[in-house]
């Protein structure tokens, strides 16, 4: 698995913490910015870069998006066909984002959670894989709605 990661200027420190974690685990990643707290790039533009890379990989890559709350990144990411992003600030939501919803983008808020919790959430998220089962019809319904509304 390869990760595409990005943040806005409110979350550079947490993004760097997560990058250190990915390096320690030997997980390949692409860093789509921001690279400094002074970078004025708006979070929707970073989310677009990350989502475009996931789509270009034929959804083989997953994304991690970080901003102050995770909310703006998540709202933007979910505007892209085939992207299922979730804001996760606890283990249960993180697990369910994959196991129940076949999510492919994890959104975090630097101003909401600390670095140790973020590392734990990312570590758990990286181990999870969606399996065909009771949630499959629900994910299929999401995909059908997406096809109807994202023409």
Answer yes or no: 67 catalytic.
yes
pTM of the model: 0.97
* Cα 78 to Cα 18: distance, rounded to the nearest angstrom: 22
* Cα 98 to Cα 86: distance, rounded to the nearest angstrom: 9
Encoding tokens for residue 72?
């703006």
pLDDT of residue 151: 80
Lay out the sheet containing 105-109: strands in order across. 29-31, 3-7, 62-67, 105-109, 85-87
Encoding tokens for residue 97?
């984002």
pLDDT one-digit tens code per residue, 37-57? 999 999 999 999 999 999 999
pLDDT of residue 26: 98
Which of the following is catalytic: 67, 74, 88, 107?
67
pLDDT of residue 143: 96
pLDDT one-digit tens code per residue, 94-135? 999 999 999 999 999 999 999 999 999 999 999 999 999 999
Q: Can you tell me the mean pLDDT for 59-82?
A: 98
Query: Is 90 exceeded by the pLDDT of residue 62?
Result: yes
Q: For the chain, which domains are there?
A: 3-149 (3.40.1400.10)
pLDDT of residue 61: 98
């Amino acid at each position: 698995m390869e990760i595409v990661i990005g943040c806005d200027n409110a979350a550079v420190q947490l993004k760097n913490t997560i990058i250190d974690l990915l390096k320690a685990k030997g997980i390949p990643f692409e860093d789509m910015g921001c690279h400094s707290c002074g970078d004025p790039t708006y979070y929707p533009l970073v989310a677009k870069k990350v989502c475009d890379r996931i789509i270009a990989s034929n959804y083989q890559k997953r994304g991690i998006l970080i901003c102050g709350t995770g909310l703006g990144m998540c709202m933007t990411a979910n505007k892209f066909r085939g992207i299922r992003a979730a804001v996760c600030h606890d283990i249960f939501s993180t697990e369910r984002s994959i196991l129940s919803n076949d999510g492919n983008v994890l959104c975090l808020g630097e101003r909401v959670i600390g670095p140790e919790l973020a590392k734990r959430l990312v570590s758990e998220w990286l181990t999870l894989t969606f399996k065909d089962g009771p949630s499959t019809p629900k994910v299929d319904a999401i995909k059908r709605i997406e096809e109807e509304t994202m023409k």
